[in-house]
Amino acid sequence: MKRYIRGLIAPINQMLMRRTEKKGEVMFKQYQSLPKQVEAVRFTDATKDGVISSCDGNVSPDHEDGNPILKVTTIYGETAIIRLGDWIVRDSNPGTYYPVKHDIFCRRYVWCGGAGR
């Protein structure tokens, strides 16, 4: 059902955007991103060992300035660094993750009460 609704929203949004654009006129408009449910865990001293073991072996523990960090592979094949306090978000592609800084995570996500896989 969600995919069906998203499939309807995109063409309607494109139609509305074309209708409001006039040649030479620039207007900033307000947009709202569609909600998305993610699986995430915060990387802290207390959770670091569990995080490493639950990330399907696709993370590389390392140290930076004496602090533990994790190197993860993103969906784009790039290596991202996760520092203490950051959140690790499991991507929809198996074995890929991305980091989110704590303050950004708190603004964008709300715990929905469920546990991940």
The closest of 36, 40, 41 to 3, measured between CA atoms, is: 36
Given this model, what pLDDT does residue 1 score?
47
CB 70 within 8 Å of CB 59:
yes
Domain boundaries, the chain: 37-108
Count Cα neighbours of 38 within 13 Å in the Cβ-side half-sphere: 22
Q: What is the pLDDT along the chain (117 residues), one digit of tens a residue?
A: 444 444 445 555 455 444 545 555 566 666 655 577 888 899 998 888 888 888 876 788 999 999 999 998 888 888 999 999 999 888 888 878 889 999 988 888 887 776 655
- pTM exceeds cut of 0.75: no
